[in-house]
Amino acid sequence: MRGRLILIEGLDRSGKSTQAEILANRLNGQLFKFPDRSTPIGEIINKFLTDPTFELSDESVHLLFSANRWEKAAQLNKLLSEGTHVIMDRYVYSGIAYSLAKDKSRDVEWLYGPDVGLPKPDLTFFLTVSMEELGTRKGWGEERYEKEQFQLKVKECFLKVLRVDTDPTIEIVDVNGLSIDETTLKLWSIIEARGL
Ligand code: FDM
Ligand code: MG
């Protein structure tokens, strides 16, 4: 049987990485994280995110993030076809939401273009946390994009891009005020209820 691809999306510091790691362990699956900063393209992305003097056009950045996913696509397809579950920390929706937040007049079809053909998640969680709580979490404000005003825009763009009303694979999960364990319990119950 083909492995399941479960994606966790959300704003910076929303707890995605912690939950992705926990779920990957529980499902005895593999963890994928995007951007993957260890690849050749990932190194450029890392420089862009951490060095405020390193400038790239919005289009270039968008295409680099997508190319970074394509660097891992063959490996991802292989694992899934072998029956390994994959838990993913960010993916295509982050790509669209962050680019759209920079320029809301951007053609969404253009934004989706480079990701067409990548493996589709069987389930996507979008974790929502209040801005107030996000701001108190460790590491906030160190990297590009980690500014409250911009995060608010990203949240709005995520909710626009995630077609929760028409796409049954999407679950928006409010994790505000929940502990790590309580959050895992909530996500796990959704995975079980869906028979994944
Ligand atoms: N990000 C992430 C994007 O702008 N586009 C993408 O396609 C992806 C996958 O990169 F601000 C942004 C989101 C975040 C930054 O991500 C680094 P992590 O999860 O904090 O490493
Ligand atoms: Mg981050």
- Ligand 1 pocket, mutate which of 33, 39, 62, 90 (most atoms under 8 A from CB): 90
- Binding site membership of 56 for ligand 1 (Cβ less than 6 Å): no
From the CA of 134, the nearest ligand is 2
Give the burial string for 60-69 (b: 16+ CB within 10 Å, else e).
ebbbbbbbbb
C-alpha span between 102 and 97 (Å, rounded)? 9
What residues contact residue 74 under an 8 Å CB cut-off, 6+ apart? none
Ligand 1 centroid to Cα of residue 1, in Å, is 31
C-alpha span between 14 and 7 (Å, rounded)? 14
**46-50: long-range pairs with CB below 8 Å, 24+:** 48/144, 49/143, 49/144, 49/145, 50/143, 50/144
The tens digit of pLDDT for each residue in 50-65 reads 999 999 999 999 999 9
Q: What is the mean pLDDT of the chain?
A: 95
With beta carbons less than 8 A apart as the criterion, state whether 89 and 16 touch.
yes
Quote the pTM value.
0.96
Q: What is the pLDDT of residue 133?
A: 87
Residue 140 above 90 pLDDT?
no
C-alpha span between 53 and 71 (Å, rounded)? 26
Closest ligand 1 atom to Cα of 145: 11
The pLDDT of 25-48, averaged and rounded, is 98
Q: What is the pLDDT of residue 138?
A: 75
- CA 27 → CA 8, 22, 65, 145, 192, distances in Å? 14, 9, 27, 31, 11
Residue 167 above 80 pLDDT?
yes
Residue 34 above 80 pLDDT?
yes
Q: Following CA atoms 88, 165, 173, 8 in sequence, which dihedral angle do they give, to the nearest 10 degrees?
A: 10
The tens digit of pLDDT for each residue in 102-118 reads 999 999 999 999 999 99
Residue 141 above 90 pLDDT?
no
Three-state secondary-structure class, residue 6: strand
